[in-house]
Amino acid sequence: MSAPSRPESVSERLADLPAVRKSLIDAAFAARARVRGVPAREYGVEDSAMTHSWLFTGPPGSGRSNAAVALAAALVCTDPEEPGCGRCEDCRAVFNDSHTDVVHIVPQELTISVKSMEQLIRDAASMPTVSPWRVVVLEDADRLSDGAANSLLKTVEEPPPHTIIVLCAPSTDPEDFSVTLRSRCRHVYVKTPSRDEITRILVEEENASETDAQLAASASLRHIGRARKLVNSREAQKRRTEILNLAELVFHGDQAFQAVSKFVDPVKKQAKEALSEINDTELKKLEASLGAGGKGKGTQKLARGLKGQVKDLEKQQKLRETRQVRDILDLSLLDFSSLYRDALMLSVGADVELTHPDYRGLAADLAEKIPEAGLVQCLDAIAHCREQLGQNVPPKVAFDGMVGRIRKAAKAS
């Protein structure tokens, strides 16, 4: 639950990122000047502060998508003094993800196909209706297939005059993001907030206690979205406890493998349940749009068309479920890995803050039982499991393999 004190305006939302805030607000002022056909210096900014294609990068949890949405709000805001005021109807609609001229795409598929980009390109091409600008925000643009990146290139290179494209990706590393697309965009780096900043946000916005907030800030590896979950969601807390305890169970024969099943199966079930409502709604919408159940001429043809489209939709939904399961498991593996890293830090006597300070005892225990080289092998085993999940190896198989490797490294078998 959110406290009423949740910051609303763009300036407040980006309080911890002054450089990002300045670029966005300056861009919004320059955009206003263009709309009015006056020099940007009337607003005290350079005309070049505004550009049509943007790329926001930052590690997961850095708030890169928040920053991208903040830019959208600043552009369509109608407050005469403060672009992105947070109070006007347009700002509120953007922050509620319901503004007609702001298209915010969160890809559900692991790889964004050329076909998915066609809709985005159409969205980008259409005229804004209530605002001077049409803003298209595409998250996880690192998932664009080469073909999809190419198909997007022309739109990014020469966007329609009323359109602003905002792409989000983890980094500009060529592994993460198309070099050609990168060269056509203005790049804004959104840094990860500090532990203290996250603690403050959790206390102020989530009503967390100082102690819980500090623990969540550190256990989430300073991932803001994740930290919020850790203070609010029992499920997330339970998963964290279970995965960390796995490190202890590794020393107890079959118990570790049983624990893996008990851990993986509920994640799949939860993902299915969490998505079932949206899946149903999507299906009903699709059926309605195709006039399912109608009578008369053409109905048969429609029915055939419907079958194909339903199949496509189900495929998309399956992909979304796979992605959700993978994302949850990957975060748990990150927790798990941090515990072995904590153990390694203790083992070499490094003076660093632990990621899981509440599991210091277990980390110290691991450091005592497993030699340094073995701890490194444990970390490798976890990294390997994460890679396998990325390659669609069934989670149970990947996890069992990891436990086997860790047992070997820990000389527990």
What is d(CA 95, CA 76) in angstroms, rounded to the nearest whole number? Answer: 11
Question: If you ran DSSP here, which 8-state letter would residue 165 be given?
Answer: E
Nearer to Zn ion, 82 or 242 (CB): 82
Nearer to Zn ion, 89 or 146 (CB): 89
Nearer to Zn ion, 34 or 92 (CB): 92
Beta-ladder partners of 105? 138
Min dist. Cβ of residue 200 to Zn ion (A): 25
Nearer to Zn ion, 85 or 389 (CB): 85
Question: If you ran DSSP here, which 8-state letter would residue 42 be given?
Answer: G
**Strands in 5-138 per DSSP E:** 53-57, 102-105, 134-138
Burial 64-97 (b: 16+ CB within 10 A, else e): bbbbbbbbbbbbbbeeeebbbbbebebbbbbbee
Min dist. Cβ of residue 69 to Zn ion (A): 13
Min dist. Cβ of residue 206 to Zn ion (A): 24
Min dist. Cβ of residue 12 to Zn ion (A): 12
Nearer to Zn ion, 75 or 375 (CB): 75
Nearer to Zn ion, 131 or 317 (CB): 131
Q: Is 285 helix (H, G, I), strand (E, B) or coil?
A: helix
Nearest to 155 by CA among 177, 180, 176: 180
Min dist. Cβ of residue 87 to Zn ion (A): 6
Q: Could you tell me the two tokens for 122?
A: 């159409």
Min dist. Cβ of residue 18 to Zn ion (A): 20
Q: Could you tell me the two tokens for 150?
A: 């190419």
Measured between alpha carbons, how far is residue 277 from residues 26, 156, 283, 325 in Å?
41, 35, 10, 17
What is d(CA 164, CA 275) in angstroms, rounded to the nearest whole number? Answer: 31
What is d(CA 76, CA 91) in angstroms, rounded to the nearest whole number? Answer: 7
Min dist. Cβ of residue 124 to Zn ion (A): 23
Nearer to Zn ion, 8 or 205 (CB): 8
Nearer to Zn ion, 91 or 244 (CB): 91
Min dist. Cβ of residue 91 to Zn ion (A): 3
Provide the angle, in degrees to the nearest 10, between the axes of the packed helices 299-348 and 395-409: 10
What radius of gyration do the chain's Cα atoms show? 24
What is d(CA 276, CA 76) in angstroms, rounded to the nearest whole number? Answer: 34
Binding site for Zn ion (CB under 5 A): 77, 79, 85, 88, 91
